[in-house]
A = this chain, B = another copy of it.
Amino acid sequence: MSVGVAIIGSGIFAREEHLPAVQAAKDFQLKAVYSRSLKSAQDLASGTTGVDLYSEDSGPGKGYADLLARDDIAAVVIALPILVQPDFIRKALTAGKHVLSEKPIAKDIATARDLVQWYHANIDTRKTLWAVAENFRYMTKFLRTAEEVQKLGRVKNFRVNFHALVSTDSKYFKTAWRQTPGYQGGFILDGGVHVVAALRLILGSNDPVATISAQSCLQQQHLPPLDTVNAVMKTKSGATGVLSLSFGSAFDDSVFEFDCEGGVVALNSDTLTIKGESNELAFDGRGVSREVAVFATTIASGGSVDKRQSPEEALADLEIMEKMLTSGERDGERQTVELQV
């Protein structure tokens, strides 16, 4: 039997990814959409059938609490602005709904740890599941890279370069909450956790990042508080690495390179090069359909949350991101990383 699900939020990612992913998930049946305004809920749901709309301006019986009161809705997929998510997550879990909430888990480590602790203290975590979405952990190219790196023995040195320019014309820039972020890092936090997640996936859980030193700056005046962060890292085993990240850069690249005991593995955009042999990986989506399907199946089968979407993984991503930002604020002061899983 399908699990009734609602999509909470109607932004770019809900429209481009969550809606088709929920519709494609065999264990899910979309029952409702919630958005702040009825207009945007309608926009998201247009073309669907049997989907009820909820919003803050729909009048009595049509708010978020009403959606959560429905017995035929067992799960929610939440993709709201970073600052409002924790409240929506708490309410859904309290109502006994399973939650898949978008990354980052929260705006900072303190808020995220509060939320995780609250979840364990107040919710029956075997009965009501909380998962945090991180689609990069479900993308074929990162999974393949991780697999190849782990075949080649210990990583000795690595570098990740992820540079792009979010212009004033970008659809993401046009989101009001992204344009004037009330949280650390702006686009760097929002986009950077994906890159950190990919790096962590590839390094593997046996040799996590242990220390970070970073410098940050603002290159584009329209992207405050900062758009660029460069970090050096050392892992538990002593491997060193560079993570250079910018959303305000004239550099344009997405390169993950690992110098392993057995040779070099490099993922340059969609080209995976293993010990000098290059393979173009066919693009098969951004991983959201797989992560939503895994979440649906977990619920339907009564299983426990897939490690790749556990709050602890999301917290570990956020920790690295925040330590990079903190080090940058403190002019390169070394930060110790402690929450890796």
Instruction: Please give the residue numbers on chain A whose beta carbons come within 8 Å of chain B beta carbons, in ascending order.
Output: 156-157, 159, 161, 211-217, 219, 228-234, 238-242, 244, 246, 249-251, 257, 259, 263-264, 327, 330-334
Contacts and interface: CB of A to CB of B under 8 A. Distances in A.
A213 B250 contact: no
16 contacts: A156-B217, A157-B219, A159-B244, A212-B332, A213-B213, A213-B214, A213-B333, A213-B334, A215-B240, A216-B240, A217-B240, A230-B241, A234-B332, A251-B259, A251-B264, A334-B334
Given A242-B244, A257-B251, A332-B213, A232 B234 contact: no
A307 B214 CA distance: 32
B211 A331 contact: yes
A233 B249 CA distance: 17
Given A250-B264, A251-B259, 10 more contacts: A156-B219, A157-B219, A157-B246, A157-B249, A217-B239, A231-B232, A232-B332, A234-B332, A251-B257, A331-B334
Given A219-B259, A232-B213, A242 B242 contact: yes
A257 B159 CA distance: 15
A217 B230 contact: no
A237 to B, nearest CB: 10
A157 B162 CA distance: 13
B213 A327 contact: yes
Given A242-B242, A263-B250, A331 B157 contact: no
Contacts of A241: 215, 230
Nearest to A214: B232
Contacts of A156: 217, 219, 228
Nearest to A239: B217
A114 to B, nearest CB: 28
Contacts of A231: 232
Given A232-B215, A264-B251, A332 B334 contact: yes
Contacts of A257: 251
Contacts of A234: 215, 217, 331-332
A208 to B, nearest CB: 15
Contacts of A212: 332
